[in-house]
Amino acid sequence: MTPEELKSLAQASAEPAWPDFHWEEFPGRVVAGLRAGARPTTAPRHLKLAIALAAAATCGLMAGFALWYGNAANSGTFESLRDGQMLRAQLTRYAGRLEAIVHDRSGLRTRLAKTPSVATADPVCVEIRDGDERQVVVTFSGQPIQLVDRTVMVLSDGGQVILIGRDFLWTPSGAAGAARRLQIRAALVPPEPSPTPKPTETF
């Protein structure tokens, strides 16, 4: 296209113009902008919505990741404690005194008797979730576990784990009393290293 052809085409074309509703709304936007002390914005509404959605999605993803990571970490605690490796190590270290290994929000710790007086048969691993509170306890059948509002006793019948206390009963097949509001899972801990741990009992 030659310059002459381009000039004639441009002169023949209509002048670009705002639609009528633009001029109807324009004075109002100018006045509102002046009153607010800011320049009138011309950013389209759908852009704002897109930005808001993206921010929300990012927050959601971050929260989901945090929850997933937290669960995975705690689940790992239960699984790593129930294999009995740490229990056996602590039993060697505190022969007859080890009552329990407890992992909760304050970390990992052992509960010891003052004198060697603990029956260390039938070790069990219990995870108790009470809202945000969560603890994993490796202990022995016949030992108590301290919950937020009560003490319960752990009992093993050789095949399954029972938690019993005042108005509190949990078994792998059901719960009664205050145990209903908790999420609990329990498993027997093999006294010796086992290549295939028993399946986890959950409720």
Partner 1 sequence: MKTLLLTLFVLPAGLLAAPATEVRVAVADFLSGFNVDQQVGGHDSGRALARILRADLAVLAPLTVVGPWDREADATDVRAVPPAEAKAVGESLGATTLVSGRVLAGSAGPIMAARVISATTGRTQGTLVQSVRGESVADLVSHLAAQVAAVAMAQQGRPPGSWPAAAILGTRRPGSHSDHDEVACVLDVDGRAVPDETAKWDQPQALSPGLHEVYVRFFDGHRLMDHDFIFNAAPGAHYRVGFARPADRKATLWIGSADSGEPVTDKAEADTRVPPSETVDPLNHWPDWVLPLPIPVPGQTH
Residue whose entry in the numeric block shows the structure tokens 């009995």: 84
Cβ of residue 71: shortest distance to partner 1, in angstroms?
A: 30
Cβ of residue 139: shortest distance to partner 1, in angstroms?
A: 9
Strand 144-146's sheet: what is its strand order?
A: 144-146, 151-156, 161-165, 168-171, 174-177
Tell me the C-alpha distance between 7 and 80, whole Å: 81
Tell me the C-alpha distance between 169 and 167, whole Å: 7
| CB nearer partner 1, residue 135 or residue 141 | 141
| CB nearer partner 1, residue 74 or residue 153 | 153
| CB nearer partner 1, residue 78 or residue 168 | 168
Cβ of residue 168: shortest distance to partner 1, in angstroms?
A: 8
Cα separation values, 85 from 62, 123, 139, 195, Å: 34, 12, 13, 12
| CB nearer partner 1, residue 77 or residue 185 | 185
Cβ of residue 82: shortest distance to partner 1, in angstroms?
A: 19
| CB nearer partner 1, residue 11 or residue 117 | 117
The DSSP element (H or E) to which 170 belongs, if any, is: strand 168-171
Q: Which amino acid is at 79?
A: E
Cβ of residue 153: shortest distance to partner 1, in angstroms?
A: 5
Dig out the tokens for 113 from the structure: 């008797």
Going by the DSSP 8-state scheme, the letter that residue 114 receives in this structure is S
Residues that bind partner 1 (CB under 8 A): 99, 113, 117-119, 121-122, 140-144, 151-153, 155-158, 162, 164-169, 171, 174, 176-177
